[in-house]
Amino acid sequence: MSNNKSNMTLGVNIDHIAVLREARKINDPDPLMALAVCAQNGADQITIHLREDRRHIHDEDAKKIIQNSPIPVNLECSINQEIIDIVCKLQPHRVTLVPEKREEVTTEGGLDVIGQAEAIGYAIEQLHDSLIPVSLFIDPTDEAVMMSKELNAEMVELHTGTYANVYAMLHSSLPYTHHSIKELELPRHTLLSKLEQSFEMLQSSADKAKDIGLEVAAGHGLNYHNVKSIMDIDAITELNIGQSIIARSVFSGLADAVKEMKRLSKRS
């Protein structure tokens, strides 16, 4: 193993804590408490997504998290003007621009940096005027990487969704999202070659981005199994992971939560 590998920044996405809170519309669980637990246990960065529909993180959460965080806050948002105005005032450590559709369950693909170059470029300009560095969430292609550089982004986050989907189909016969359900019928050798192809795209676009001076993050659908290969791509120096960490925390915490309630509900 080479000993000059750069360190990896782990960004933990805590949107799902707010998803759980919104299910009851109360103040529990509190994303601010999640921030503290993440920071105390090795997270290098907190990632939150201020969506146009505010389905999980609200403006007030973002404000409190940015004001109180002992670690950098990476705020994801769309290029919607109302959101960009709010985000410029919030002053997160970095903004990651993502595509957003109201009806989607989660961010489905990378930004259309070529088709929407002008609008994305304008959003970047405004964020830079507010002294906020910008990362662009893109599909892993050379064209998207080159365009991100042209648009003056400091960083790109490569969408690992295709890789994660194919990996899940090979190992559990379920994609990490259910969008590509038709691919479940693909034979194993086809899935293997798709996995290789999706990994190579990540590898080559990460290398390209690094070569032209962009920092490189990766995220979406990464979990305790598929993250290992991503670690082999030296050019990637940051991971943003949400769903799998929060999902695991339910089970690592459920035993204690039940025991404590059992203790309280015992009569002597």
Question: Where does this chain bind ligand PXP (CB under 6 A)?
Answer: 13, 15, 49, 76, 96, 98, 106-107, 137, 157, 219-222, 240-244
Query: 100 Cβ partners below 8 Å, 6+ apart?
Result: 51, 52, 77, 78, 80, 107
Cis previous bond, 99, omega within 30:
no
The one-letter amino acid at 220 = H
Q: How far is the CB of 1 from ligand PXP (least distance, A)?
A: 26
Q: How far is the CB of 39 from ligand PXP (least distance, A)?
A: 18
Cα–Cα dist 158/245, whole Å? 19
| 16, 49, 56, 159: the active-site residue | 49
Q: Has 220 been annotated as catalytic?
A: yes
Q: How far is the CB of 111 from ligand PXP (least distance, A)?
A: 10
Helix pair 161-172, 188-211: axis angle to 10 deg = 150
Q: Has 171 been annotated as catalytic?
A: no
Cα–Cα dist 30/17, whole Å? 7
Q: Has 49 been annotated as catalytic?
A: yes
The one-letter amino acid at 158 = L
Q: How far is the CB of 192 from ligand PXP (least distance, A)?
A: 23
| Nearer to ligand PXP (CB atom), residue 53 or residue 185 | 53
| Nearer to ligand PXP (CB atom), residue 3 or residue 41 | 41
| 16, 56, 159, 220: the active-site residue | 220
Catalytic residues: 49, 76, 220
